[in-house]
Structure 1
């Protein structure tokens, strides 16, 4: 009985560690995505809206 409880505890601890690592990776990914979006160059809002056909 004690061995089964110990094995369950190990499985539970492993699952918690795996979830923690997954959350850390997701957080790092979202931070890098936020940084990328903050540094992205936003084009002028009127760019490409008008065509000069007189030329």
Structure 2
């Protein structure tokens, strides 16, 4: 058995696992922020905020003819 090859493979495996955990933690943080935003939106009584969240593309442009 080649000790250097085994050592290198083990090190690469550890780096891949650390990178995977970092990505998972980032995704969990984003999901938590989105959940908090949804809870805040649900608890609000501001109808315009709820409508804008449901259809954010409406009301952004006004067509005028002079």
TM-score, normalised relative to structure 1 = 0.72
Note the residue ranges of structure 1 that are not aligned, 5 or more in a row: 45-55
Give the aligned partner of residue 29 of structure 1: 30
Give the aligned partner of residue 49 of structure 1: none
- Which structure is higher in helix share? 2
CA shift for structure 1 position 13: 0.2
Give the aligned partner of residue 20 of structure 1: 21
Note the residue ranges of structure 2 that are not aligned, 5 or more in a row: 49-66
RMSD: 1.6
Q: Secondary structure of 1:32's partner? A: helix
Q: Secondary structure of 2:23's partner? A: helix
TM-score, normalised relative to structure 2 = 0.61
How many residue pairs match? The answer is 44
Give the aligned partner of residue 58 of structure 2: none
Structure possessing the higher relative contact order (Cα contacts under 8 Å, 6 or more residues apart): 2
